[in-house]
Amino acid sequence: MNSHLMEQSEDLERIELLLLLEGIYQQYGYDFRNYSFQYIRRRVWNRIRCEGLQSIPSFQERVLREREMMDRLSVDFSINVTEMFRDPSFFLAFRKKVVPLLRALPGIRIWHAGCSTGEEVYSMAILLFEEGLYEKSTIYGTDMSGSALDKASKGIFPIRKMQMYTKNYMLSGGKQAFSEYYSVQEKGVVFHSFLAENIEYFQHNLAIDHSFNEFHIIICRNVLIYFNDILQQRVLNLFRESLVPLGFLGLGNKEFIPNNLQRNDFIELDPQEKIYRKNAALLGRAIGTGRGWGRL
């Protein structure tokens, strides 16, 4: 196939994928239209092969007519790459640079956006427990995938991953034996129930849903890389609006806040670990509204 025909084929494929995403939005209300094109392309073709189909149009017809097919594709689109204390240096920096600034607060609200099956939520719960902050904290774990949240709420994880998780925990500044936080049961590793007492899970779609509270900390790591520029901007604006002045935002190591948004609304607390703080200059705007770092 010559280059001209290849370009035509790629253009047609893009149109077919855009029509699929538009059809999903119109039929089901799920908005994947501003996800990264290459990410969507890989996931769609993987599902097409799994279903034994040959083309995007034939797949689109099935998706729009069969709810079960849409449910399977929705799971494929969910971002479920996660592990406990993932990128331990992030959690170590959080312990050293953020935790000391939390101690004076009477209460702490934390949002883990795109929490998948809950590994990082439990990681934060353990960290806060060790720092003596868990009792006054509430952690909200949200994801667009109901099946992922079901797994998160059960707090059961594969025992085969505990060796890696233990290593991550120690590198993150863990203060005791990681095994003290869980027990081994027939179905896998179950974390002790006290860690879940201040955790709430519910569905939230970053592409279409709005803020549901004001937070002192928002963690959304390795999610923005799957969105295009339009959706990244939308989500960062959502986080900015959802943070109290002087609140913290933690992103993944391949993510960043664009200069125009960072210059106006955020300062870098740790450039390497992508930990930001909402600009103190915004504090003055919140004085008359009851919003602020020390207010609940």
Per-residue HEC secondary structure of 53-105 comes to CCCHHHHHHHHHHCHHHHHHHHHHHCCCCCCCCCCHHHHHHHHHHHHHHHCCC
Mean pLDDT of 20-31: 94
* CA pair distance 57, 184, nearest whole angstrom: 47
C-alpha to C-alpha distance for 214 and 146, rounded to whole angstroms: 23
Instruction: Walk across the sheet containing 156-157 and list its strands.
Output: 156-157, 188-191, 182-185
Dmax over CA atoms of the chain, in Å, equals 66
Query: What percent of the chain has pLDDT above 90?
Result: 79
Residue 287, pLDDT score: 41
Give the residue among 268, 243, 246, 264 at the shortest CA–CA distance from 255. 268
Tens digit of each residue's pLDDT (9 = 90 or more) over 52-109: 999 999 999 999 999 999 999 988 888 777 899 999 999 999 999 999 999 999 999 9
Asked if residue 133 lies in contact with residue 165, where contact means CB atoms within 8 angstroms, the answer is no
As given in the structure block, the two tokens for residue 226 are: 């799957």
Reported as a single tens digit per residue, the pLDDT across 250-280 is 999 989 888 776 667 899 999 999 999 998 7
Parallel, antiparallel or unpaired: strands 243-251 and 215-220: parallel
For the cut 50, the answer to whether the pLDDT of residue 233 exceeds it is yes
8 Å CB contact between 216 and 105 = yes
Given a cut of 80, whether residue 7 has pLDDT beyond it is: no
pLDDT at site 289? 44
Please give the average per-residue pLDDT across 189-198, as a whole number: 95
Please report the beta strands in 90-187, taking only residues with DSSP state E, as ranges in sequence order.
108-113, 137-143, 156-157, 182-185
Q: What is the pTM of this model?
A: 0.86
**Cα 10 from Cα 13, distance rounded (Å):** 5
Residue 111 has phi, psi (to 5 degrees) of -115, 120
Report whether pLDDT(290) > 70.
Answer: no
Sequence-ordered list of residues with C-beta below 8 angstroms from that of 5, at least 6 positions apart, any chain = none
pLDDT, average across residues 125-144: 97
Give the pLDDT confidence score for residue 81 in this predicted structure: 74
Residue 286: pLDDT band by 50, 70, 90 thresholds?
Answer: very low
Confidence at 292, pLDDT banded by 50, 70, 90: low
Higher pLDDT, 95 or 29: 95
Mean pLDDT across the chain: 90
| Per-residue pLDDT at 288 | 42
